[in-house]
Structure formats: structure tokens, C-alpha cells
Amino acid sequence: MTIARTPAPAKVLRTEYQKSVASYWNKEKDPVNLRLGDVDGLYHHHYGVGEVDWSVLEGPEETRDERIIAEMHRLETAQADVLLDHLGDVKPDDHLLDAGCGRGGSSIMANARFGCHVDGISISEKQVEFANHQADIRGVADRVRYHFRNMLDTGFESGSRKAIWNNESTMYVDLHELFAEHARQLEFGGRYVTITGCYNDVTGGRSKAVAQIDQHYTCNIHPRSAYFKAMTANDLVPISVVDLTPDTIPYWELRAKSSVATGIEGPFLDAYREGSFHYLLIAADRV
């Protein structure tokens, strides 16, 4: 099936905030993203889940950091696999959307698993350029393409997507606007999946640790309840909710011991351990 493509909206960056976020990611060359991606060419912009192989801290000191980097990358790739596990029955002719794709690792993985078409979008032109280069290197540019577009107004045709996901990118946008646009693009019965950090409404507003995370990444972390309210209002019915918080804490403990630690590890661990911050996977169907 060939998807007709409407032209990209003329203006991608529509607010000063969007311009500031785009500027941040255009300039970003953080080793915590690049060095991990160099392990096997899959460049992620999210965190990891699963049990840590703590033996990486043992052995020769001169290769210790290399072992930690490889283990962190394994956990981040495992996180993307968990997300892909929830996309449903995807066929090679299906078209998927990676909203807020970063440098494109999850899109590459989706194509490798399903053989499907994937479009990734980012408001960072540098990320889009980098990701398209990786698709070229891997020989999948005919099925995996990245675009400089806004996830709130992509220009892609209505009902054209079998599945859409956000992997740690919802905290940069208004959820009602985002889910309205996703619902427009999904076919009836199509699947939406997000993995995201959200603050715990039960404990009140943003904790000090959550506020530090917001400041560090120039983002606006949403309360947990906001996801379900916005999905319900936009014809997305949650079918699976998985609390990944216990599964991501070991990753952060390992990252804190690495050479690519950025100083934000402490606030993440504090927020998770005190219960003010949750790491959730939410899968929903378009009805």
C-alpha cells in the first residue's frame, strides 16, 4: 500500500518554546547518547530497563567504562524492545510513526522486527539529518525515513498509520493536542504506545526532584492522570498500563557510576525512590 503524503506544514516551529527545544537538541552532542549509539549504530534518546549485569564493574580497570557503556546501551535497546512488543500485529505493508524520533534508533528497530514502513519526525533538523544518514548506512532508507516536522501537526494523511509511538517525548507538548493529532492519523483499531516519565498526582504537584528534571531537559513533565484524561478525550482507549519504575532504577544506578553521567542521575533516583515520579508504558487503541 502506498501512502499519499500531504505536504509538510510550512511552519514547523510555531512557538518560542518549540524553538528553544529545537535549539537545545540541535546543539546536543551528549556522550550519554552518542557513545552508547556507537556500540552498534542504534542511537537512542531514552533510558533503559531490566536487570543490570553488575559484573561489568569487575575486571580490568582500563576497560571498565567500555563495559558499562555497552551494558547501558543493552538496557536502552531492551527498553525499545518492550515498547515494540506492545505495538500489536504489524505487517510489512503497514506504516508506523515514531513521534519525537530523536536520532532514530527505535524506528530502525521497528523496521528490522516487522519489515514495515516507518516515518520518524523531530523538530531538530540535526537529529533528522543524523537519523536519515543512519538509515542510508543500513540500507533501509526506502522504508525508514525521517522528517523535520512537528508532532502536533505532521501533515501526514488521516487514517494512514497502523501504529504510532512516543518514546519519552510527550513531556514537550500539550497532551490533548498530541493525542488529537495521533488519533487523526491512526486507522480505526490502530495502536498507540508511549513510554514516559510522569509525576505522581497522589503525592501532590511536582516534587523538587521532578522540577530538577524539567529544568535539565527544558521539558514540562505531566501528571500521570493527564495521560488518561487526554487519551479518553481523543478516542484512544488504554488497553495496557505497565509500571516500569522498578525496572528502570537499576539502569540509573549503573549510569551514575559511568563516565557519561550528567548529574541528573541523583534527581531521577530520588524521584523514583520517593514515589513522586513514575516510568510508565501506556498502550491504547484507536476507537
pLDDT at residue 10, as a whole number: 66
Distance from chain centroid for Cα 68: 22
CA-closest candidate to residue 286, choices 168, 147, 188, 174 = 188
Whether the model clears a pTM of 0.75, i.e. scores above it, the answer is yes
The tens-digit pLDDT sequence of the chain (287 residues) is 545 455 666 689 999 999 999 999 999 888 888 999 999 999 999 999 999 999 999 989 999 999 999 999 999 999 999 999 999 999 999 999 999 999 999 999 999 999 999 999 999 999 999 999 999 999 999 999 999 999 999 999 999 999 999 999 999 999 999 999 999 999 999 999 999 999 999 988 899 999 999 999 999 999 999 999 999 999 999 999 999 999 999 999 999 999 999 999 999 999 999 999 999 999 999 99
Residue-range domains of the chain with CATH? 16-286 (3.40.50.150)
The pLDDT tens digits of the residues spanning 27-70 come to 988 888 899 999 999 999 999 999 999 999 998 999 999 999 99
How much of the chain is in helix, strand and coil states, percent to nearest 5?
45, 20, 35
pLDDT at residue 29, as a whole number: 87
> Measured at the alpha carbon of residue 81, what is the angle toward residues 117 and 53, in degrees to the nearest 5?
150
